Chains A and B, each alone.
Chain A
Amino acid sequence: MDVASYARAGQYLGAGLAMGFGAIGAALGEGMTGGFTNRAISRRISMTPALTRTMLVAQAVAETSAIFALMVAILLLFTDMAEQGPCAWAAAIGAGLSIGLGSFGSGIGSGYPGAEATWGVSRQPAVAPQMTTNMLVSQAVCQTPAIFALVISFLLMFMDYSKDPMWPYSAALLGAGLSMGIGAIGSGWGGGETGGAACKAFARHPRTKTSMMTLMLVGQAVGQTPSIFSLMVAFILIFSNYSGQQLTLHSTMAPLAAGICMGFGALGPGYGNGLTSTKACEALGMRPQNSGLIMRTMLVAQAVAQSTAIYALVIAFVLIFVV
C-alpha cells in the first residue's frame, strides 16, 4: 500500500472514532437536562414555557461538544491529508481520538447545570434570569476541555509533517491525541457537576450570587488543571523533534506511552477535583457566611487530589525527555 492509501484509511478510522465517541456525552447530558425539566414542570406547571425555554438553551449549549466532533469528522472525511507525509494516518486517528474522547466529559458535564437550573427555577421562580446566566457561564467553562481537544485535533490535521519519517512521529501523534482525549474527560465531567451544584445551591440561597459564581469559577478552573497538563504533553509530543534518534521499538513506544500515561493520569484528578468543588458549592449554599473557609478548604483538597496528575506529568516527561 502507498502513503496516500494509509492516510485515507487513517482519516476514515479517525472520522468514525470522532463521531462515535463524540456522540455519547452530549446526548447523555441533554437527556439529563430533559428529565429534570420534566420533573420541574410537574412541580410548577404554570411555568412550562419558561422552563422549556431554559431547557432548550441548556441543551443547545450541551450540544456544542458533539458539534465539535461532527466538524472534525466532516473535515477528516472530505480533506486530503496524503500530502502531509507518512505520518498522516496517525495524525488523522489522533485527531479523531482527541475530539471524540475529549468531547465526552464536556458533553455530559454541561448537562448538569442545565438540569439543576431548570429544577432550581421551578423552586425559586424569581431568580430565573440570574439562574440562566449562572448556567450559561458554568456550561461555557465546562466546554474548555473540549476546546482544548479541538485545538489538538486541528493541529494534528493541519500541520505539515511531510519531512518527518513515519516512526517515531506516528507514535507521538497518536500519543498526543490519546493524551488530550482521555485527559479531557475527567475535567469536563467534574466541572459540569460543579456547575450543577452551584445552580442548585443558588436556588436554595439566591443572595449568595457573587460569592457562588466566584467559588464555582475558581473550583472549575482548578479542576481543569489536569486537562491543561494533558494539553501541554500533547503540545510537546506534536512539536518535539526526534530526528537525531535511532529507530528502535522502545524509542517508538515512549511517546505513545507518555500520551497514555498523561491521558489516564488526568482523568481521575479532573473528576475528583470536580467532586471537591461540587460539595464546596453545596456547602456555600447552606452556610454563605463561611465563604472564605470553604474556598480555602476546597483549594487545599484540590491541590492534594491533583498530586496524582503531577505524578503522571512527571512520568510523561521522563518518558519523553529521558528514556
Chain B
Amino acid sequence: MTTDPRPLRPGRPKPWNDPRVRSVVFQILAIAGVAWVGYTLFHNTVSNMESRGISTGFGFLNETAGFGIIMSLIPYNETMSYGQTFLVGLMNTLLVSGLGILLATIVGFVVGIARLSSNWLVAKVALAYIEVFRNIPLLLQIFFWYFAVLGALPGPRQAVNVGDIAFMSNRGIVLPKPVFEPGAWVMGTGLVIALATIVVLAIWARRRQAATGRIFPVLPIAVVLIPGLPLLGYLLTGGPVSWDVPSLGGFNFRGGITAIPELGALLLALTLYTASFIAEIVRSGIVSVDKGQTEAALALGLPARRVLRLVVIPQALRVIIPPLTSQYLNLTKNSSLAVAIGYPDLVNVFMGTTLNQTGQAVEIVAMTMAVYLTISLAISVLMNLYNRAVALKER
C-alpha cells in the first residue's frame, strides 16, 4: 500500500468503511469458516469409523461379493469380487445412459420439428406430448412404465407372441439373437467396404463440385450402399448367420436376448422425459434464427431444403448445443433413479448392495461420485468441442 502513487485523500475512510479492508477481512473469514467445516467433517468421520472398527482403504474391492445381479453385460456371478460388481453397475449405467441419449436425441429432434409443422394435427400432437411428459415427475413416469405398462403384461406362458420369434411378457422382451458362423466376416467386410466407399465418394463429390459445380447425390447412395453391401455378402455366402430363437421352457424363455423390464421401463421413461425437453430446445433453436435469414436465402433462389441445411440449421445448432448438453448430463444423472425399480445400475448395485454389505461409505460414495463426475465432464468436453466448431465469429 505504501507504493500506491495516488495521494492519500484527507478524508480517507475509517478501516471498517474502506472497501479494500472490508473485502480482505471477509475473505479471511470465509476461508476460516470453510476450513473449520472441512476439519470437523474429516475429524468426525475418522473418529466415527475408528469407534465402529471400520477399516479404511480400497481393499474391500477384492473381497467376494456373494450376491447375484439380474443383468450384466460382462461375465458375472456371486463368487466374484466387489470390484466386479462396480464394473457391472458402471456398464449398466453407461448402457442405459448411452441408449437414452441416442433415443432422446432422435425423438426430441423429430418432435421439436413436428411442433413447428404447418400441419395442425401434427403440431398439436407434438405440443400435447411435450406438455404431458415435461410436467410429470420423472420418478412417477418410471413407475408408470414399470408397474402400469410393462408390469401389466401377461406372464411368460401367455406372452404376447410376435411371429413366434419375439415375445413380450412381464419378464421382459425376448428377441432372437444372431449367431455368427464362419463366413460371416464377408458381411462385416461388406459393411467396411460400403463405409469406405461412402467416405471416398463424399470427398470426390466435394472436389468435383468445387471443380465443375455439379452436385453429386451422396446421401441416397449411402442409404442404399450401407445396408446393401452386407446383404449382398449374406446372400453370396449362403446366409452365414443363424438366429437363436427364444422358446418357452418351464416358467421362462430359453435362448435369445432378453431385455429385462427394469431396463425397458427406465429407458422408456428417461427417453420420453428428456426428449420432451430436447424438443423444446430444438424448437427454440430453429425459431431463434431470424426470418430474414430464410427470406434472404429463398430470394437467392435456394430450394427450401438447402435453405434449411445451409442457412437455418447451422445457425440453430449454436443455440441448441449448450442446453442440449445440460439435458444429456441430466439424463445420465437421472439414470440413478434406476434404484427405485431395481434396475442394477451403479447406484443400485454399488452404492446400494455393496455399501450395505461392506459399510465402506466414504470410499464407495467417493467412487460413485467420481464416476458421475467423469461421465458428465466427458460429455461436457465433447459437446464444448462441437460447440466451438459451430460457433459464430463476431468481432
Whether A and B are associated in the same complex: the answer reads: no
Binding site for A on B (CB under 8 A): none
